[in-house]
Amino acid sequence: MIDLNGSLTRTRFHTAVAIAALAAASAVKLSAQEDETVTPPRFTIATYAGASLPTGDLKNSFDTGFLLGAQGNYDFNKHLGMLASFDWTNPDNKLVPADTRTNVYQGDVGLELGGARGNMKKWAMRPFLDLGGGVRSYSYSAPNLNGHTTGEGFAGIGTDVNIGRSAIRLAAKDNFFSYEMPTVDGSTKANRNDVSLSIGFGFHP
pLDDT grade, residue 29 (50/70/90)? Answer: very low
pLDDT in tens, 144-158: 898 999 999 999 999
Q: Helix H segments across 60-149? A: none
pLDDT grade, residue 164 (50/70/90)? Answer: confident
pLDDT in tens, 84-107: 999 999 999 999 988 899 999 999
Report whether 64 contacts 89 (CB < 8 A). Answer: no
What's the Rg (C-alpha) of the chain?
Answer: 28
pLDDT grade, residue 78 (50/70/90)? Answer: confident
Write phi, then psi, for 88 (nearest 5 degrees).
-135, 130
Q: Is the pLDDT of residue 75 over 50?
A: yes
Q: Is the pLDDT of residue 123 over 90?
A: no
Tell me the whole-structure pTM to 2 decimals.
0.76
Q: Is the pLDDT of residue 40 over 80?
A: no
pLDDT in tens, 179-194: 988 886 656 788 999 9
Query: What one-character-per-residue DSSP string does 166-199 give?
Result: EEEEEEEEEEEEEEE--STT---EEEEEEEEEEE
| Averaged pLDDT of the chain | 82
Write out the H or E segment, with its range, that includes residue 27: helix 4-38
